[in-house]
Amino acid sequence: MVEDQPIPEPMSNKPLVATRLDPQQAAFAAFSFFWAFANITHLWIQNGGRLDHPAAALNMAAAAWVLMNPTSVGRLAVLASTQIFDTVWVMPFAPDHQILAASVNFVILLVGLAVLLRRSREGSQVATALFYGSFSRAARILLLVGYSAAAIAKYNTAFFDTATSCAVFLANTATYGLTESVSGLGWFHIVASATAETVIPILLMIPATRRFGARFGMLFHFLVSLSPAVTVGDFTTTLFALFLLFLAPEEIAAIVSDMQERFRKSLVGKTLLIHGTVPVVIAFALSASASGYLVPSIDVGYLWVIVTWFGLSLLRAAWWTWSMRVARQPLAVRIPVAHLAVVALLFAWALNPYLGYRTTSSFTMFSNLITEGPGTNHLFLPSVHLVDYQNDLIEPIASTNERLDVFAADGQLVTVFEAQRDLQADPGATVLARRNGGPELTYALDDLGDPPSGLLKKLWFFRWIPGAGDPQCTN
């Protein structure tokens, strides 16, 4: 059992707003709320405001259910199960942060069942404390694995080349091209991005810098998603929830209490108090979803305003509570074997590109990493292919398949695995291509060998390989 601790006084003279929950319950409720908000943001961005398949609809409904009562362990467990279901549904096209979230949700389910059974004997407050204490330890390690893998992936020759670097490409996109003509800014963006992403997991691992590392991580990713031209708010909100886990429960309680009080004083908060939360939220959700079908640009604007406002509120509260005196939060102690197994699986998943398996959703987003072919552009990690998926490549010259024809026009290479996927979806299509540097031949689906099975198509997905001097900036 985790003992309740009183909220300490801040070093400043500013009083903290009192909270009705003890620190452990407040920390759990904060994570649940932020986790549900991250799920909604993800679904909104990935589906353009439209819920086009049942898994997305179930996930959205579960997230809304958690928002109505974020203190419920059972509701969070339901949300975790629906997010995993949605991840399986959209595979192999799940983005990196969705894979990280799914691993966290596996731990939530592992802890949740035991805690719900124990709650009947010891009460809901004890259950909440047990859940938060057990779950948060594994979740912190999962974040460090995924985040460190993403940072390490950027140490390659293309990322540190201003002509091809994704850091430069994203900065130019975020500023609508304003930074493109400024001399020297390219290197600044590269160094700033690589340094920040390298330093953040290190700060989180060191006890003395852990509180600062969580806040610095929130600030960095808020700035990354600040421009409406770069739609990475789903990744940012996922990290917001996980960064909070590195803070002490009483510190999280103070942050949430401050956010709640300021929200009540805001125009939106006053409107909700007058008209009621449910009808206002329903009206907003209906108008936002309708815009996703009718005017997608309005839907993007809706989401950008919400995520930006939410991020500003969190950052203000997080840095305001910086002066609190709190005990250092341990990184991880006594992690159950089942939780360690989830960590090991996520670590193995992060090795996919280097072992010859899938090159997407393995924490290589916007990294410029290339492991396909006989070598790799990584500065120090080798590419040891255990299978031939990344070695068997074609260079499309022309194709009756639209996607392969785009690759041909752009001078890009593609794995035979992905060419087969495209040809399977387009019966009768052919591609004129060079296979592994050979002569130009016309290939139909059967000419490329046995097509991948349904299970393999769910598991593996490979990026296209850029032509010389082209950036590889895919998510």
175-191 pLDDT tens trace: 988 888 787 788 999 99
Q: Is residue 475 part of a domain?
A: no
Q: Taking a C-beta distance cutoff of 8 angstroms, is the pair 370, 472 a contact?
A: yes
- Nearest in space to 199 (alpha carbons), one of 176, 223, 215, 185: 215
Residue type, 423: L
Question: Based on the domain organization, do 325 and 387 belong to the same domain?
Answer: no
Average pLDDT, the chain: 86
- Tell me the average pLDDT across 34-49: 88
Question: Based on the domain organization, do 95 and 173 belong to the same domain?
Answer: yes
- Tell me the average pLDDT across 165-183: 88
Q: How confident is the model at residue 85 (pLDDT cuts 50, 70, 90)?
A: very high
Q: Is residue 6 part of a domain?
A: no
- Tell me the average pLDDT across 2-17: 37
Q: Taking a C-beta distance cutoff of 8 angstroms, is the pair 145, 99 a contact?
A: no
- Nearest in space to 264 (alpha carbons), one of 321, 316, 315, 313: 313
For residue 161, the tally of other CB atoms under 10 A from its CB is: 16
Question: Based on the domain organization, do 307 and 403 belong to the same domain?
Answer: no
Is residue 413 over pLDDT 70?
Answer: yes
* Domain final residue, candidates 316, 346, 376: 346
- Tell me the average pLDDT across 399-426: 93
Question: Based on the domain organization, do 123 and 149 belong to the same domain?
Answer: yes
- Nearest in space to 453 (alpha carbons), one of 415, 420, 416, 404: 420
Q: What angle do CA 342, 113, 327 make, to 5 degrees?
A: 70
Which H or E run includes 394? strand 393-399
Distance CA 374, CA 25 (A): 53
* Token pair listed for 402: 């639209």
Question: Based on the domain organization, do 175 and 282 belong to the same domain?
Answer: yes
Distance CA 166, CA 172 (A): 10
Lowest mean pLDDT among 76-90, 262-276, 335-349: 262-276
Q: Is cis: bond before 92, omega within 30 of 0?
A: yes
User: pLDDT by residue (tens digit) across 94-115?
Assistant: 999 999 999 999 999 998 777 7
CA trace torsion 21, 26, 28, 29 (10° rounding): 90
Q: How confident is the model at residue 4 (pLDDT cuts 50, 70, 90)?
A: very low
Q: How confident is the model at residue 71 (pLDDT cuts 50, 70, 90)?
A: confident
- Nearest in space to 465 (alpha carbons), one of 402, 381, 396: 396
* Token pair listed for 3: 């003992």
* Domain final residue, candidates 302, 319, 346: 346
pLDDT at 119: 55
Q: Taking a C-beta distance cutoff of 8 angstroms, is the pair 443, 336 a contact?
A: no
Q: Is residue 180 part of a domain?
A: yes
Q: How confident is the model at residue 128 (pLDDT cuts 50, 70, 90)?
A: confident
Q: Is residue 12 part of a domain?
A: no
Is residue 8 over pLDDT 90?
Answer: no
User: pLDDT by residue (tens digit) across 263-290?
Assistant: 877 776 666 566 555 665 666 666 666 6
Q: How confident is the model at residue 141 (pLDDT cuts 50, 70, 90)?
A: very high
Q: Determine the structural domain holding residue 417 and report its residue range.
A: 361-459
- Tell me the average pLDDT across 74-84: 94
Question: Based on the domain organization, do 136 and 43 belong to the same domain?
Answer: yes
Distance CA 303, CA 461 (A): 28
Distance CA 150, CA 104 (A): 17
pLDDT at 323: 86
Q: Taking a C-beta distance cutoff of 8 angstroms, is the pair 168, 188 a contact?
A: no
Residue type, 7: I
- Tell me the average pLDDT across 296-302: 71
Question: Based on the domain organization, do 339 and 398 belong to the same domain?
Answer: no
Q: Is 469 left (phi over 0), alpha (psi -120 to 50) or beta?
A: left
Is residue 86 over pLDDT 60?
Answer: yes
Distance CA 45, CA 48 (A): 5
pLDDT at 352: 96
Helices (H), 225-336: 233-244, 249-265, 267-275, 277-294, 296-320
Q: Is residue 424 part of a domain?
A: yes
Question: Based on the domain organization, do 341 and 367 belong to the same domain?
Answer: no
Question: Based on the domain organization, do 64 and 94 belong to the same domain?
Answer: yes
* Token pair listed for 314: 């969190």
Instruction: Using DSSP, state whether 431 is helix, strand or coil.
Output: strand
* Token pair listed for 8: 């300490």
Question: Based on the domain organization, do 450 and 410 belong to the same domain?
Answer: yes
Q: Is residue 435 part of a domain?
A: yes
Is residue 230 over pLDDT 90?
Answer: no
* Domain final residue, candidates 346, 371, 398: 346
pLDDT at 1: 35
Q: Is residue 216 part of a domain?
A: yes
Is the pTM here over 0.85, yes or no? yes
Q: What percent of the chain has pLDDT over 70?
A: 85
Q: Is residue 114 part of a domain?
A: yes
3-state SS string for 313-327: HHHHHHHHHHHECCC
Question: Based on the domain organization, do 313 and 187 belong to the same domain?
Answer: yes
Is residue 138 over pLDDT 60?
Answer: yes
pLDDT at 125: 62
pLDDT at 304: 86
Q: Output the CA–CA distances (angstroms, integers) from residue 14 to 17, 227, 382, 424, in the order listed.
A: 9, 32, 53, 64
pLDDT at 81: 97
Is residue 221 over pLDDT 90?
Answer: yes
- Identify the bridge partners of residue 432 per DSSP, sorted by sequence position: 398, 442
Question: Based on the domain organization, do 385 and 337 belong to the same domain?
Answer: no
104 against 258, higher pLDDT: 104
Distance CA 132, CA 126 (A): 10
Q: How many domains does the structure of the chain reveal?
A: 2
